[in-house]
Amino acid sequence: MAAKKPPFDKILIANRGEIACRVMRTCKRLGIKTVAVYSEADADALHVRTADEAVLIGPPPSTQSYLLVDRIVEACRKTGAQAVHPGYGFLSEKQEFQEALARAGIVFIGPDAHAIHAMGDKIESKKLALAAGVSTVPGYLHAIPNAEEAVKIAREVGYPVMIKASAGGGGKGMRIAYNDEETREGFGSATNEAKASFADDRVFIEKYVEEPRHIEIQLIADGHGNCLYLWERECSIQRRHQKVIEEAPSPFLDAATRKAMGEEAVALAKAVQYKSAGTVEFIVDKNRKFYFLEMNTRLQVEHPVTELITGLDLVELMIRVAAGERLPLTQEELKLDGWAVEARLYAEDPFRNFLPSTGRLVKYREPAAGPDVRVDTGVFEGGEISMFYDPMIAKLCTYGKTRIDAIERMRRALDEFYVRGVSHNVPFLAALMAHPRFREGRLTTNFIAEEFKGGFTAAHLPPRDPALLAAVAAVVDRIKSERTGTLQDRRVVMLNREPVALEVTSSQKGYTVKVGKRKLAIETFWSPGEPLFHAKIDGQSVAVQVDAVGSGWRLINEGGQAEALVLTPRQAELYALMPVKAAPDTSKFLLSPMPGLLSSIAVAEGQDIKAGEVLAVVEAMKMENVLRAARDGTVKILHARPGDSLRVDQKIIEFA
């Protein structure tokens, strides 16, 4: 039998990073050639290396490259691309882009312009949802002119309220307000962010649903009147309205609610003659009452978890639908099999309020892929995390027959994800996977704010077994010593300067480590220089990251790290007498917590300040970060001025 002809010969991907690479994988499987577009900052990026062809479209800022419609259209003409997949973000939900491609005779792999327009404006989409019989959140669905009018409307709707950018997305231009003062401040910040991110400063107000869950329905529709809902995704684990963990299905929905939500989502899609993949997002309260939030007229970041539980390739379906094909299955034929969890790996420092981290990926190793582990990434070892774009490193997805199976596989995969050169959020993700409330499925969009009050610290990490870590350090040192012939059974491991006495002996299958009255059987094939120590310890699979640091080791497991120094008993006695160097005192300074632009300073030299008072605003990744006083004091010196570009830990204010 002759092979089926691909829907298109060549597709241009109007995006970058992991989503561009992910689309290219499907194209390659289908026998479709791919074209990458790139900015000067992405000249050596993975998506450029992966594509069959690549076209330079401008300088690093996205406003001068990835957001320029004419550059993309010209790249299509230059390369002969018949269709464009927009990924997510950038131009994926711009009706002007779809219209420009249509005029040029190029297929847009997504919905038609009228559907993008209808669903792209949060105010208009809510009006359409009401007309289609979809449940909506109470609120004021008109643009609000000023802060005082916002206060008036907020009082009428009833606190708490959500202030939202009409053209918003990705958590930008959103603020929760519980009183008049927070409404005034939130209105200003939301409009500023909306203008900077979307060139549209319109905001509206709706009732904030307390104890809410964020649950979304994945849709796929063709151009022949067929529309399916591919079950739901739970996206309640969010920080600053941006998703951190997603899973499918939701641990909260019952079959009746799932069906009702799916049917309402389909009704809304059919009301605008929707074609392609799309997602209808709902807020669900504690009684499983659901309200329409918005519709995303594109592929979602978290689409892999849906693919894992359905066995479908959403990118392939989008391509085939765009080529005029019918959907290959019906709602009744769609199966829900198992559970999937996705964690977003970001270049950010969770111990410093999740500040973005940029720089070179000095080391980068992913967990081994397989039927239960999937990694979508747009980076490689030696590549750069740029200050110009979203700092995502990868999306890590795991699958299991049950929710706990998927979570446990995620915990092991996080231990195996080896990243050096930039800060990353693996410790935070590990803490989430181990959190009892998360494991029980008791989720709301307030989960992170409630469970990590005051920010994320090492105290939030899952408890670690010091005997196990000491045993790993001892075996690592033993294997290294076997090559030099300096073996000693009795050792003392200084684990974060705390002594753990133990004995290490070789056994038939590996090593036996005696710690007090406890014996640990360790089987491993680890070799010196390998960054991952894979082992079975008392029959359980364990992965510990091992870095040589001076004459000792840094061990990383379950998101936490420990410094280990393996000594003889006499060396341990002497080591305990060594003084510990004190950390420098930075309490008299306000330091920039991230690289960014100093937007404003709210105080002057000689001014008395109170704890909680706004001191400065730093803009990074188009987000405003308000810096407040930690305690009462007096401003002594201003070390920076509005408009300055700041590096991490640069002095902004010095206090008397």
Q: What percent of the chain has pLDDT over 70?
A: 98
How far is 505 from 628, CA to CA, in rounded Å?
Answer: 55
546 neighbors 527 (Cβ within 8 angstroms):
no
Answer with the residue of higher pLDDT: 172 or 430: 430
Is the confidence at residue 610, as pLDDT, over 50? yes
Same domain? 561 vs 506: yes
Nearest alpha-carbon partner for 102 in 111, 316, 167, 271: 111
433 neighbors 411 (Cβ within 8 angstroms):
yes
Same domain? 264 vs 129: yes
**Domain end position, chosen among 400, 430, 462:** 462
Same domain? 220 vs 192: no
Helices (H) and strands (E) in the chain — how many of each? 17, 39
Same domain? 269 vs 132: yes
Place of tokens 């509005």: 642
In a 3-state reduction of DSSP, which class is residue 601? strand
Same domain? 92 vs 203: no
Same domain? 318 vs 443: no
Using pLDDT thresholds of 50, 70 and 90, give the confidence band for residue 621: low
In a 3-state reduction of DSSP, which class is residue 90? coil
Using pLDDT thresholds of 50, 70 and 90, give the confidence band for residue 1: very low
Instruction: Give the pLDDT confidence score for residue 325 in this predicted structure.
Output: 97
Residue 646 lies in a domain: yes
294 is catalytic: yes
Residue 530 lies in a domain: yes
Same domain? 256 vs 133: yes
655 neighbors 588 (Cβ within 8 angstroms):
yes
Say if strands 645-646 and 596-601 run parallel, antiparallel, or are unpaired.
Answer: antiparallel
**For residues 570-585, b (16+ Cβ closer than 10 Å) or e, as one string?**
eebeeeeeeeeeeeee
**Domain end position, chosen among 190, 207, 224:** 207
Same domain? 133 vs 270: yes
Instruction: Give the pLDDT confidence score for residue 185 in this predicted structure.
Output: 94
Query: Please, what is the average pLDDT of the chain?
Result: 93
Residue partners of 131: CB distance under 8 A and separation at least 6: 271
Q: What percent of the chain has pLDDT over 90?
A: 79
pTM, 2 dp: 0.84
Phi then psi for 417, rounded to 5 degrees? -85, 110
What's the average model confidence in pLDDT over 415-443?
97
Domain containing 182 equals 138-207
How far is 127 from 491, CA to CA, in rounded Å?
Answer: 71
CATH number at residue 235: 3.30.470.20
Residue 584 lies in a domain: no
Same domain? 174 vs 307: no
How far is 622 from 640, CA to CA, in rounded Å?
Answer: 20
Residue 569 lies in a domain: yes
Residue 96 lies in a domain: yes
Pick the catalytic residue from 264, 294, 416, 619. Answer: 294
Is the confidence at residue 169, as pLDDT, over 70? no
Please give the full DSSP string across 1-31, using - where no structure is assigned: -PPPPPS-SEEEE---HHHHHHHHHHHHHHT
Number of alpha carbons in the 13 Å side-chain half-sphere of residue 53: 15
**Domain end position, chosen among 410, 429, 462:** 462
Radius of gyration of the chain (CA): 27
10 neighbors 80 (Cβ within 8 angstroms):
yes
How far is 312 from 137, CA to CA, in rounded Å?
Answer: 32
CATH number at residue 43: 3.40.50.20
Same domain? 439 vs 475: no
Instruction: Give the pLDDT confidence score for residue 3 in this predicted structure.
Output: 60
Long-range CB contact pairs, 97-105, < 8 A, 24+: 97/14, 97/69, 97/72, 100/69, 100/70, 100/73, 101/73, 101/76, 104/73, 104/76, 104/77
User: Which tens digit of pLDDT belongs to each residue from 18-66?
Assistant: 999 999 999 999 999 999 999 999 999 999 999 999 999 999 999 999 9
CATH number at residue 479: 3.30.700.30
Instruction: Give the pLDDT confidence score for residue 585 in this predicted structure.
Output: 78
Same domain? 103 vs 233: no
**For residues 292-309, b (16+ Cβ closer than 10 Å) or e, as one string?**
bbbbbbbbbbbbbbbbbb
Same domain? 308 vs 414: no
Residue 4 lies in a domain: no
**Domains held by the chain: number:** 6
User: Which tens digit of pLDDT belongs to each residue from 204-231?
Assistant: 998 888 889 999 999 999 999 999 999 9
What's the average model confidence in pLDDT over 603-632?
86
CATH number at residue 620: 2.40.50.100
